[in-house]
């Protein structure tokens, strides 16, 4: 029997012997909780993003049961609670609009309830950063458990990957290379099990970040959702969180600058999603670590991509797990001086203790550092008059010959303008042009949609053009690829120079020099700026308005300005 612990938050609810204690205990007893469970054992919240509107997280009730069993085995008191769940495929205008709202839900749900520690269940893209951001601001002992990737897609004898093959197949359909029937058949073949996208897209990237930050248990990133070992990991997390509470290891002791620097390098080594840049900055600033865009460029230099996974490569997350998963990658970094080895992880060991002996079973999937899959794979941070506060490009997903390129701008004022004109054979565009998309940033879309990887015009696709330089203030799906400049800051809707670009302007990209320039004289830009009008909020009330008025730019993590930082888990006053 666990001993009474007056230091626990939950004691301020369940340890009371007055009318409040009656109220706090009695209603919880309505599902059969016995009196002796209120004896001062750690109360663990299981923060669940299960939702049928988030297809990637629909197995989370099962995972929650395994976490619950682990908590009970370790002498804890599990209480599961739902929070806003963000489904990438169904939620419009973009799940990213709601990441900060969901993080508020998480933070306040933790703080307002009798919880001593929390296990976060997350899978689909935005469910991971929203939960970690909220938990970081509440700062209790916390373990992240990812739902795991789906099994590999299988289509006519070949492997197909979430997202990555959606983009390629939709281009093939538009170019007339495949039929509509084939397109429909592929839909059924691609997502055939529980789990999140099984490419190294944003979900797999963020699950890897959770492991690299030390917030998840070793192996968290890659165990397939339907592999029994995913449930074993969930159970182990349930057992461990109880001890983490007893050891008083709060999340901020894990989320140190060293942990973020490890995560940045791991992201480069896995060819991870560009979305990790925004999410890691937002998470870091919740916990007081001032992560900057340049940290990604600086720390990623000299890091090579070690994994041959889509969208940068050939294989899928299932193959990655069988090859050794993230531990094998972390070992390579640690052995080559690219890891803060002493960074603490939630299992109580350092990241190096966890991974120093990790095996690799397949060198076609996980490459050694000295003979990498792709060289220099970090995120490149661009500056210039078109992006004075920064923009990013993922060189490992880009075409090498386009990394230094000058071309004529073909401008789309917003995403509707793009859809209206891109298929028009009369569009004046050739493969040397630079496609520019405006008004898709945090305020402009709103929510900074994943539309930066604009599909190419069909007339060029039919001529065999496979890539062009594209520039926008949008994000890009982690499963996408191409020579795509993203996250231009300030965005067009905030009056950034992007809003001033006109058809026919020359734009110069030089990734080696980290430059993105709009080659238009300053006087002309000043004239154009005089004509610009500040946009109005897309809705004049509710969350959309709050978001529009308070969202930060991409280089600052696109958090709401008043959410940056943490308030901790103080116990609010009684409720009656
Ligand atoms: Fe959920 Fe890709 S749609 S992870």
The answer, yes or no, to whether any atom of ligand 1 lies below 6 A from the CB of 194, is no
254/350 Cα distance (integer angstroms): 10
475/456 Cα distance (integer angstroms): 17
| 553, 475 contact by CB (below 8 A) | no
| Residue of 56, 130, 206 to mutate, ligand 1, most atoms within 8 A of C-beta | 56
The answer, yes or no, to whether any atom of ligand 1 lies below 6 A from the CB of 198, is no
Q: What is the pLDDT of residue 176?
A: 86
The beta strands (E) that lie in 139-247 are given as: 142-146, 153-155, 158-160
Q: Which two tokens stand for residue 135?
A: 């938990």
Q: How far is CA 320 from the centre of its chain?
A: 19
Q: Whose CA is closest to 505, among 490, 489, 492, 517?
A: 517
Closest ligand 1 atom number to CA of residue 55 = 1
Q: Whose CA is closest to 412, among 443, 376, 368, 457?
A: 457
| 57, 85 contact by CB (below 8 A) | yes
Closest ligand 1 atom number to CA of residue 204 = 4
Element (H, E) at 410: strand 404-412
The residue written with tokens 């300005």 in the block is 561
Quick one: CA torsion of 7, 12, 14, 15, rounded to 10 degrees?
Answer: 60
Torsional class of 81: left (φ above 0), alpha (ψ -120 to 50), beta (otherwise): beta
C-alpha of residue 405 to centroid of ligand 1, in Å:
33
Q: Which two tokens stand for residue 235?
A: 């159970």
| 566, 559 contact by CB (below 8 A) | no
Q: What is the residue-level pLDDT of the chain in tens, covering all 576 positions?
A: 445 677 899 999 999 999 999 999 999 999 999 999 999 999 999 999 999 999 999 999 999 999 999 999 999 999 999 999 999 999 999 999 999 999 999 999 999 999 999 999 999 999 999 999 999 999 999 999 999 999 999 999 999 998 888 888 888 888 888 899 999 998 999 999 999 999 999 999 999 999 999 999 999 999 999 999 999 999 999 999 999 999 999 999 999 999 999 999 999 999 999 999 999 999 999 999 999 999 999 999 999 999 999 988 999 999 999 999 999 999 999 999 999 999 999 999 999 999 999 999 999 999 999 999 998 888 999 999 999 999 999 887 889 999 999 999 999 999 999 999 999 999 999 999 999 999 999 999 999 999 999 999 999 998 999 999 999 999 998 777 899 999 999 999 999 999 999 999 999 999 999 999 999 999 999 999 999 999 999 999 999 999 999 999 999 999 999 999 999 999 999 999
Torsional class of 308: left (φ above 0), alpha (ψ -120 to 50), beta (otherwise): beta
Q: What is the pLDDT of residue 4?
A: 61
The answer, yes or no, to whether any atom of ligand 1 lies below 6 A from the CB of 336, is no
Phi first, then psi, for residue 36 (nearest 5°) are: -70, -5
Paired strand residues for 48: 82, 121
| Residue of 99, 125, 165 to mutate, ligand 1, most atoms within 8 A of C-beta | 125
156/234 Cα distance (integer angstroms): 34
Which are the contacts of 553, defined by CB distance < 8 A and separation ≥ 6?
389, 441, 442, 489, 490, 491, 494
Q: Which two tokens stand for residue 545?
A: 């308005």
The full DSSP string for 96-141 is GGGHHHHHHHHHHHHHTSS-SEEEEEE-STTHHHHHHHHHHHHT-S
Angle among Cα 165, 170, 174 to the nearest 5 degrees reads: 150
Q: What is the pLDDT of residue 3?
A: 53
522/516 Cα distance (integer angstroms): 15
Total residues found in the chain within this entry? 576
Q: What is the pLDDT of residue 1?
A: 40
| 434, 399 contact by CB (below 8 A) | no
| 140, 250 contact by CB (below 8 A) | yes
Torsional class of 101: left (φ above 0), alpha (ψ -120 to 50), beta (otherwise): alpha
Closest ligand 1 atom number to CA of residue 196 = 4
C-alpha of residue 22 to centroid of ligand 1, in Å:
43
Q: Whose CA is closest to 120, among 190, 185, 209?
A: 209
C-alpha of residue 144 to centroid of ligand 1, in Å:
17
Half-sphere exposure of 270 (CA within 13 A, CB side): 39
Q: Which two tokens stand for residue 358?
A: 């990790």
Angle among Cα 119, 121, 122 to the nearest 5 degrees reads: 140
Q: Which two tokens stand for residue 149?
A: 């990737």
Phi first, then psi, for residue 153 (nearest 5°) are: -70, 145
194/151 Cα distance (integer angstroms): 8
Interstrand relation of 484-485 and 506-510 (parallel, antiparallel or unpaired):
unpaired
Characterize 298-312 residue by residue with b for buried, 16 or more Cβ atoms within 10 angstroms of its Cβ, and e for exposed: ebbeebbbbbbbbbb
Q: CB pairs under 8 A, 24+ apart, for 316-319?
A: 316/149, 316/152, 316/153, 316/159, 316/161, 316/198, 316/199, 317/149, 317/150, 317/152, 317/198, 317/199, 317/200, 317/204, 317/222, 317/224, 318/149, 318/151, 318/152, 318/198, 318/224, 319/152, 319/362, 319/365
Half-sphere exposure of 530 (CA within 13 A, CB side): 5
Closest ligand 1 atom number to CA of residue 201 = 2
C-alpha of residue 478 to centroid of ligand 1, in Å:
10
| 345, 352 contact by CB (below 8 A) | no
The answer, yes or no, to whether any atom of ligand 1 lies below 6 A from the CB of 54, is no
């Amino acid at each position: 029997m666990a001993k009474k612990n007056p230091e626990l938050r939950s004691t301020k609810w369940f340890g009371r012997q007055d009318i409040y204690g009656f109220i706090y205990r009695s209603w919880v007893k309505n599902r059969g909780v016995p009196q002796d469970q209120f004896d001062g054992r750690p109360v663990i919240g299981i923060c669940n993003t299960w939702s049928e509107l988030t297809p990637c997280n629909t197995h989370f009730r099962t995972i929650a049961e395994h976490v619950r069993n682990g908590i009970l085995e370790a002498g804890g008191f599990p209480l599961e609670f739902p929070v806003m769940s963000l489904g990438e495929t169904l939620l419009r205008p973009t799940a990213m609009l709601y990441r900060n709202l969901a993080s508020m839900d998480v933070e306040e749900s933790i703080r307002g309830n009798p919880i001593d520690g929390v296990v976060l269940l997350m899978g689909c893209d935005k469910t991971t950063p929203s939960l970690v951001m909220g938990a970081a601001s509440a700062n209790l002992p916390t373990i992240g458990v990812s739902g795991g990737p789906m099994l590999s897609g299988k289509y006519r004898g070949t492997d197909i990957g979430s997202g990555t093959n959606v983009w390629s197949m939709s281009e093939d359909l538009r170019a007339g290379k495949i039929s509509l029937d084939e397109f429909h058949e592929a839909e059924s073949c691609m997502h055939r099990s529980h789990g999140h996208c099984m490419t190294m897209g944003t979900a797999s990237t963020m699950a890897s970040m959770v492991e690299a930050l030390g917030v998840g248990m070793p192996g968290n990133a890659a165990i397939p959702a339907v592999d029994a070992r995913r449930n074993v990991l969930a159970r182990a997390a349930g057992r461990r969180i109880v001890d983490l509470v007893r050891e008083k290891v709060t999340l901020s002791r894990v989320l140190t600058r060293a942990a973020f620097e490890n995560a940045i390098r791991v992201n480069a080594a896995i060819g991870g999603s560009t979305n990790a840049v925004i999410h890691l900055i937002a998470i870091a600033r919740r916990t007081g670590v001032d992560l900057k865009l340049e940290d990604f460029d600086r720390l990623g230099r000299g890091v090579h991509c070690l994994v041959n996974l889509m969208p940068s490569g050939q294989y899928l997350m299932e193959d990655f797990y069988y090859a050794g998963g993230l531990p094998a990658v972390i070992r390579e970094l640690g052995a080559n001086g690219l890891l803060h080895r002493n960074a603490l992880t939630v299992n109580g060991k350092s990241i190096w203790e966890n991974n120093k002996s990790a095996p690799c079973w397949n060198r076609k999937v996980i490459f050694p550092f000295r003979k990498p899959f792709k060289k220099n794979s970090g995120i490149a941070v661009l500056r210039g008059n078109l992006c004075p506060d920064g923009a990013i490009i993922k060189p490992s997903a880009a075409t090498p010959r386009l990394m230094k390129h000058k071309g004529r701008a073909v401008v789309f004022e917003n995403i509707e303008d793009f859809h209206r004109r891109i298929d028009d054979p009369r569009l004046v565009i050739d493969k040397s042009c630079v496609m520019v998309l405006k008004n898709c940033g945090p305020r402009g879309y709103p929510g900074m949609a994943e539309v930066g990887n604009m599909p190419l015009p069909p007339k060029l696709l039919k001529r065999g053009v496979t890539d062009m330089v594209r520039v926008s203030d949008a994000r890009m799906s982690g499963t996408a690829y191409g020579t795509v400049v993203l996250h231009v800051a300030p965005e067009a809707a905030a009056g950034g120079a992007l809003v001033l670009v006109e058809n026919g302007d020359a734009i110069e990209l030089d990734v080696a020099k980290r430059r993105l320039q709009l080659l238009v004289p300053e006087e002309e830009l000043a004239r154009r700026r005089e004509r610009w009008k500040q946009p109005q909020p897309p809705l004049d009330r509710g969350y959309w308005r709050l978001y529009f008025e308070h969202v930060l730019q991409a280089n600052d993590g696109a958090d709401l300005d008043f959410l940056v930082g943490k308030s901790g888990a103080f116990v609010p006053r009684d409720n009656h």
